[in-house]
Chains A and B, each alone.
Chain A
Amino acid sequence: MKNPSEEQSSMQEKKGVSRRAFLRGAGLTTAGTVALSAGLLSFKLEDAKAPPAILGPGEAEVRFVVNGQARTIWVEPRTTLAEALREHLSLTGAKVVCDRGSCSACTVWVDGKPVNSCITLAVDVSGREVTTIEGLAQGDELHPVQEAFIEHDASMCGFCTPGMVMSCAALLKRNPNPGLEDVKLATSGNLCRCGTYPKVFEATLAAAKKMKK
């Protein structure tokens, strides 16, 4: 048996590129990052977008915006976005369940659109904006879908919940007036083994109503 290395490889922010240094490079301060609209930030990140033609076999740099904050990580090119978020950025809200895009428990938003982070490569979101369940609330104010999930008991074991909430919130972003069939369609990829579907429908329709007020 070989000796285990004390530190695992490919931890975040190595090879001398710290988040602070990157922010300086991008002409932003940490405080500014948080305050700035995500739109401006993603514009600035365009610079980081063009990757070399071939990535790997070593680690590749990924610069992206996660929940409104610019982040840089170094990962093997095959690293999925789910793995990058969970293992490199400690954002464990998105869950890995099927690891092949058939259950949507890993749903996050890339540039505002829901994707399965288990079948999205981290390197493919370089220069883009990622929103995870941890970044859905505005400060202490929950997203209306989150509130409605509590109000309407739309969660049981909680494991599919982050993905389910992200799918439902994304629906309301693209369609503020959904009907029951729209909600069913929007969540048709999100498996919930506890079978909370009826309450998910109820919660999402209630949230839509509330957001219109």
Chain B
Amino acid sequence: MIRCKTSKEIGGMGHSVKRKEDARFIQGKGHYVDDIHLPGMLHMDIVRSPYAYAKIKSINAEEALKIPGVLAVVTGKDLEKYNLHWMPTLMSDTQMVLPTDTVMYQAQEVAAVIATDRYAARDGKEAVIVEYEPMKPVIDPHKSLDPGAPVLRTDKPGKNDNHIWHWEVGDKTATEKIFAEADVVVKEQMHIPRIHVASIETCGCVADYDKVNNHLTMYMTTQAPHAIRTVIALVAGHVGLTEEKIRVVSPDIGGGFGGKVPVYPGYVIAIAVSFLVGKPVKWVEDRSENLQADSFARDYHITAEMAGTKDGKILATRFKILADHGYTDASANPSKFPTGLFSIGTGSYDYGAAFMEADAVYTNKPPGGVAYRCSFRVTEAVHAIERITDRFAFEIGKDPAQLRMENFIKKEDFPWKSPTGWTYDSGDYHAGLLKAMEVVGYEELRKEQAEKRERGELMGIGISTFTEIVGAGPSRDFDILGIKMFDSAEIRVHPTGKAIARFGTKSQGQGHETTYAQIIAEELGIPAEHIQVEEGDTDTAPYGLGTYASRSTPTAGAAAAVAARKLRDKARKIAAYLLEVSEEDLEWEPGKFFVKGAPEKAKTIQEIVFAAYTNHPLGMEAGFEATHYYDPPNLTFPSGAYICVVDIDKETGEIKVRRFVAIDDCGNIINPMIVQGQVHGGLTQGLAPAMYEQLIYDEDGNILNGTFMDYLVPTAVESPNWETGHTVTPSPHHPIGAKGVGESPTVGAPPAIANAIVDALSHLGVTHIDIPITPFKVWKILKEKGVAQ
């Protein structure tokens, strides 16, 4: 089990320290954007398009302006005067803030109503009359490149089709040769559907522009406050809002999951209005606006192929992707690769050839996508490789666990170079799967399944043994609009030995206030409870790129450790001075330096810190502070072995997840309690797309499930009893050997569930079902196969 180097009082790594943030959350004292009230604050609501594709003939605000409390209606034409009607996306595409002539997707922002209170703003929104001339939209991405398809982005000079980009990686020739000569080739079409992060708090902001001092304070739901500050300065610099005049504050955030990385038009409009009227402007979108207009994820159509030998050796894989980005490529993707980290899709298996290619297209759907609780596009990649691996096992009649065991990259082969160019840092895949099989009782389950099949009952066992790629990232490959993806920590220890530490990341529920304190406690021996952690205020925190892609521990967590070690080096010098010995004669144990062989001659970290302010050696800089900007040398590669057991009602198609065993390897663990919570949450968010969630559009581009009544977020009732466990393979290049964990279960769970359901039906000849796998889909299959009456 986990061995702790520090005492419980210090509470360093490995201790299940209770979360510091909970005290305020459980008393209703969390402070979120919508809880902010500023004197004279105005409220903004947004008029949205009912059509997926239409010309705007006119916008009439007359009636709206008659409503008491309604002050203004802002349109694209108003913003055009200040050249604020367009903005760049994080993928260097462009996006309308407000349209001047055409709407490109249903629920697109059309005009903003400014009023003295929220209700008046909503009344005003209902009273704005917009006249549209609807046009036939492009909804199906497969038809987007058809010769007759309307060209959607007429704003782009010379653009004559709906193609956005093409990307490819791997050795095409070598892969094709293997496929041509292989004994066995399997192939499946998969759709990883458009889903929504649906963080329980929607997006919103309070833009507070102070005319007198030409200063903007932007309170907003952002996972990346510093990057946003820079983006605002880039967009609004021409009207005098330069970066030193902008403060972005990200207060408590009610869940992000990638949806709070991008810049949405509402933020920009709120800033523009506050800038023009000199008053604070609050905009908080409602649930349907959130589900309908922003933060979608996935929507990859994948053709996955695997080539191998008859006895089960994987030889090559080939993936072809059609990516539906909607109206603009507004991905929140900090890598140099348009498909993000999809190229991790060769998985946990040792083979030499892979080729992947992708084409992205525009359609009349909301723009995106975001990396919903995964390093960008890793979920799609893992689903493809884990499903096609099962498909291969089925084809040759081999047990999928056995097949995986025979093809895993061996522990001793790390660092391992993948056919798509990644260097996996470490892993022990055999140990993970063996543990999962033991916990779940794999052999007995297979026997039970065989018996049940005899009796005509449907039971399935699904495996997913995934490799994640997180911690973006090394500056050579990762940036946001050119800013490298390092992250930062600043530690200040006060004379009395208590500390404040600030970070460039931003927690949205991950428990940073607790875990960062534990990392510093581990390195300095100052009790975690005496370390105050602050994030999210660009005026005080060191520059960083924020929290997503499981990057906080790999980057800012590493920065905390390195900064703390700088302080420990200083502490050693001070201790040597105080104890009148040379530095080499000192030994460290958490919380104190002592003289080798004479442990009674010691100075505690608190005594040393006090001396740094009161009695520091001549020539040494006073004080006890350190900052570090950490540029990771490599990404980290968490892995996991998940096994899911399902029972299916053969008459109704109802699917019951009976068991779910998740063995994660996230390297060294900082706080086991928090890690378990993260795994529970991630698994629930993996269950969601596997069985419940998908944003559905009709052929006219109307969203059919844009509320919580019909977009099915799992509730307490659907939540299975997750059985969690760990193997620990530290990252060799990370200062504390940690890898990051928040996203692994979201990535690993869907294929485990899908594989289990397909496994339950495999004897009927079923080889693939697209997620979400609903009872209806299963019932239809059972009906077709003559199983259901």
Please give, as numbers and ranges, the residues of chain B lying within 8 Å of A194 by CB-CB distance.
200, 255, 509, 681
Stretch at the interface among B398-406, B596-604, B712-720: B712-720
One of A10, A142, A150, A195 near B117 (C-beta < 8 A): A10
B28 touches A149 (CB 8 A): no
Bound Cα distance A201, B142 (Å): 45
Closest to B69 in A: A9
B298: Cβ under 8 A from any A Cβ? no
CA distance A105 to B254 in the complex (A): 11
Whether a CB of chain A sits under 8 angstroms from the CB of B116 is: yes
A199 to B676, CA, bound (A): 10
Of the stretches A27-35, A42-50, A94-102, A120-128, the one at the interface is: A94-102
**Are the C-beta atoms of B28 and A93 separated by less than 8 Å?**
yes
In whole angstroms, what is the CA distance A187 to B685 when docked? 18
Chain B 117-161 per-residue mask, 1 if CB under 8 angstroms from chain A, else 0: 111000000000000000000000000000000000000000000
Q: How far is the CB of B516 from chain A (nearest CB, A)?
A: 16
Chain A residues near B583: list those with CB within 8 A. Answer: none
- Which bracket fits the contact residues of A? 35 or more
In the complex the two chains form, is A90's CB within 8 Å of B255's CB?
Answer: no
Known A156-B509, A198-B721; judge A193-B683 contact (CB<8 A): no
Smallest Cβ-Cβ distance to B682: which chain A residue: A195
Verify B116–A195 contact, CB threshold 8 A. Answer: no
Q: Which of B18-26, B449-457, B771-779 has 4 or more CB atoms under 8 Å from chain A?
A: B18-26
Interface: B386 (CB within 8 A): no
Q: A158-B24, A188-B715 are in contact. Are A151 and B119 (CB under 8 A)?
A: no
B23 surroundings in chain A (CB, below 8 A): 150
When distances are taken between beta carbons in the complex, the residues of chain B under 8 Å from A134 are 27-29
Interface assignment of B680: CB less than 8 Å from any CB of chain A: yes
- A153 CA to B671 CA, complexed, in Å: 11
Check B683 against A95 for contact (C-beta < 8 Å).
Answer: no
- Report the minimal beta-carbon distance from A176 to chain B, rounded to whole angstroms: 20
Cβ-closest chain B residue relative to A80: B119
Segment at the interface with A among B35-43, B91-99, B410-418, B555-563: B35-43
Closest-CB distance, A197 to chain B (whole angstroms):
4
Instruction: Encode A81-108 as 1/0 by CB contact (under 8 A) with B.
Output: 0010011001111111111101101000
- The interface bits of chain A over 177-191 (1 if a CB of B lies within 8 angstroms of the residue's CB, else 0) are 000000111011111
**A-facing mask of B440-461, CB < 8 A → 1, else 0?**
0000000000000000000000
Also in contact, A161 and B30, with CB within 8 A (given A100-B709, A190-B716) = yes
Are B29 and A93 in contact (CB-based, < 8 A)? yes
| Contact residues, A49-94 vs B (CB, 8 A) | 76, 78-79, 83, 86-87, 90-94
- Chain B residues lying within 8 Å of A83, measured Cβ to Cβ, are 118-119
B 22-61 contacts with A by CB, 8 A = 22-30, 32, 34-35, 37, 40-42
Q: Indicate whether A195 sits within 8 Å of B201 (C-beta atoms), given known contacts A2-B65, A93-B27, A153-B677.
A: no
Chain B residues within 8 Å of A91, by CB: 28
Task: Please name the residue on chain B nearest to A143 by beta carbon.
Answer: B26
> 30 interchain pairs (CB within 8 A)?
A1-B71, A1-B277, A2-B65, A4-B40, A4-B42, A4-B71, A9-B116, A78-B119, A86-B34, A91-B28, A94-B28, A97-B201, A99-B287, A133-B26, A134-B28, A136-B27, A137-B27, A153-B673, A153-B674, A155-B25, A157-B253, A157-B508, A184-B716, A191-B713, A193-B198, A195-B682, A195-B683, A197-B680, A197-B716, A198-B680
Other than A83-B118, A105-B200, give 8 A-B pairs with Cβ distance below 8 A: A87-B117, A102-B709, A150-B23, A159-B199, A184-B717, A193-B199, A195-B714, A198-B721
Using a CB–CB cutoff of 8 Å, the interface residues on chain B facing chain A are 18-19, 21-30, 32, 34-35, 37, 40-42, 65, 68-72, 116-119, 197-202, 252-257, 277, 279, 286-287, 508-511, 673-674, 676-677, 680-685, 707-709, 713-717, 719, 721-722
Chain A residues with CB under 8 Å of chain B are: 1-6, 8-10, 76, 78-79, 83, 86-87, 90-100, 102-103, 105, 132-134, 136-137, 142, 146, 149-151, 153, 155-162, 165, 183-185, 187-201
**What 7 A-B pairs are tightest by C-beta distance, nearest first?**
A93-B28, A159-B254, A195-B684, A157-B509, A158-B25, A133-B28, A195-B681
